[in-house]
Structure 1
């Protein structure tokens, strides 16, 4: 595992871990929480180490402390080491953001066992590992804490080409409720945030893969979703980060077990 630390003197610091934070929504969340006064442990895979280090530098420029931890959330041992690294560098953990996720596009009957396992290892087991390890850390500290899980609000015709991705994110919603029930007695809240169609690397990948199936040029699948959004625009990573800021802050202390949509009105619930 690779770890890179920057230190900035703080008074009464709060710390958060954001997984999958090298780019996209995770990066936006890490920077927003730093703006909110959190010191941040930035996690992503080894192959994204340059992105991770760049985010840590941006956090430092905001006057906060940051530590980079490259590791795979599908491994409980890696998640436990990540939390230990964060606590050693930044102090007691206050917020865990289980943001890391991957997407796969294809017809349901074409999904291979290997692809399905990989998807669920990251999107489901990654959340389970993060929730269990963070919950144990909060209990060990004797402090309340907040756990935030990345779900998905996407529900439209493209679901036919994102069957296992949609299933994995539906599992996150159920897991969020289960962990909220279990950890509530310790004063720990567990909530989900569910972005819609986001201008991000993941959605560029989805757009490209959809294009291979329906023949639309790059960008056309992504743009075609706009007409289904009440606000008539796709979202940017900062839209999700704003919701996470609320869920990570004190104003949401009596909110738990909820998965909140931040999709501009793509889905009403």
Structure 2
């Protein structure tokens, strides 16, 4: 499963799941390009990876801006000597009743979660084709790409969109040897879920922590997911053992949603 010598770019790579993916792919032998909005968090992540012996570069960029995504990939290829694996990991959450979602809120979450993934697919495929690389595009979906949840309607709509884009892109890019897949985590113990839980408390009156505990209580394996649980699966998607898989959005949630 080695990806030794490959170059992987991870959006939203400065913390949480993105950083865990970067750490795992670096341990697998890849050079790492981290893309995020926070220069300070990128610096901390770069320091962690460098101390572990990884070759890494960091790029401050907003994935909602198409030109910045294309530029980030070019920068990664130039600084790291190639480009092989695109991880569209960046994303944001939103907790809001369907009846109260505003136009601005809908635009914001789709700009990051849908457009950000689309620009990443476009930019990666363009670079792969130009370089003659049989690359891999791997995007963050969610169990919310397979099932709608109350209070998370806008978020779910973005993840269903990622699943659809994954299928369409896989069919379009297959003739060039480019595979396109997505990973669908469940309840991961990250800052995003802390924010989701807090927002549920504000909107529904639930106690802080109650929503998280309720979701975790439905997991067959009996615990919340760690970023490393996700990163281990992404490592497989990034490696040669997954070369015959494309167009799939695979649930990895400890047993919550069964597809």
Which TM-score band applies after superposition, normalised by the shorter structure? Answer: over 0.9
Q: What TM-score do the two structures reach when normalised by structure 2?
A: 0.96
Q: Which residue of 2 aligns with 1:22?
A: 14
The reply on whether 1:90 has 2:90 as its aligned counterpart is: no
The CA distance in 1 between the partners of 2:258 and 2:103, in whole Å, is 33
The reply on whether 1:49 has 2:39 as its aligned counterpart is: yes
The CA distance in 1 between the partners of 2:172 and 2:27, in whole Å, is 31
The CA distance in 2 between the partners of 1:83 and 1:77, in whole Å, is 10
Q: Which residue of 2 aligns with 1:4?
A: none
Aligned-residue offset at 1:216: 2.1
Distance 1:110 1:14, change over 3 A: same
The CA distance in 1 between the partners of 2:250 and 2:240, in whole Å, is 17
The reply on whether 1:187 has 2:215 as its aligned counterpart is: no
3-state SS of paired residue (1:199): coil
C-alpha root-mean-square deviation of aligned residues, in Å?
1.4
Aligned partner (choices 120, 145, 153) of residue 143 of structure 2: 153
The reply on whether 1:104 has 2:94 as its aligned counterpart is: yes
Q: Which residue of 1 aligns with 2:255?
A: 265
The CA distance in 2 between the partners of 1:42 and 1:14, in whole Å, is 14
Q: What TM-score do the two structures reach when normalised by structure 1?
A: 0.92
The CA distance in 1 between the partners of 2:251 and 2:8, in whole Å, is 22
Aligned-residue offset at 1:157: 9.4
State how 1:1-269 maps to structure 2 within 5 Å: 13-45=5-37, 48-154=38-144, 159-269=149-259
Q: Which residue of 2 aligns with 1:8?
A: none
3-state SS of paired residue (2:143): coil
Aligned-residue offset at 1:227: 1.9
Aligned-residue offset at 1:217: 2.3
Is the CA contact 2:145–2:160 (under 8 Å) kept in the aligned structure 1?
no
The CA distance in 2 between the partners of 1:28 and 1:71, in whole Å, is 19
The CA distance in 1 between the partners of 2:204 and 2:187, in whole Å, is 18
Number of residues paired by the alignment? 256
| Structure 2 residues not aligned, in runs of 5+ | none
Runs (4+) off by over 4 Å = 155-158
The CA distance in 2 between the partners of 1:70 and 1:244, in whole Å, is 23
The CA distance in 1 between the partners of 2:189 and 2:39, in whole Å, is 22
Query: What's the CA shift string for 1:92-131, capped at 9, x where partnerless?
Result: 1010000000111010010000110011010000000000
Distance 1:226 1:155, change over 3 A: farther
The CA distance in 2 between the partners of 1:168 and 1:156, in whole Å, is 11
| Structure 1 residues not aligned, in runs of 5+ | 1-11
Is the CA contact 1:19–1:42 (under 8 Å) kept in the aligned structure 2?
yes
Aligned-residue offset at 1:155: 7.7
Query: What's the CA shift string for 1:13-47, capped at 9, x where partnerless?
Result: 211000001111111011111011111101111xx
The CA distance in 2 between the partners of 1:155 and 1:36, in whole Å, is 28
The CA distance in 2 between the partners of 1:119 and 1:136, in whole Å, is 25
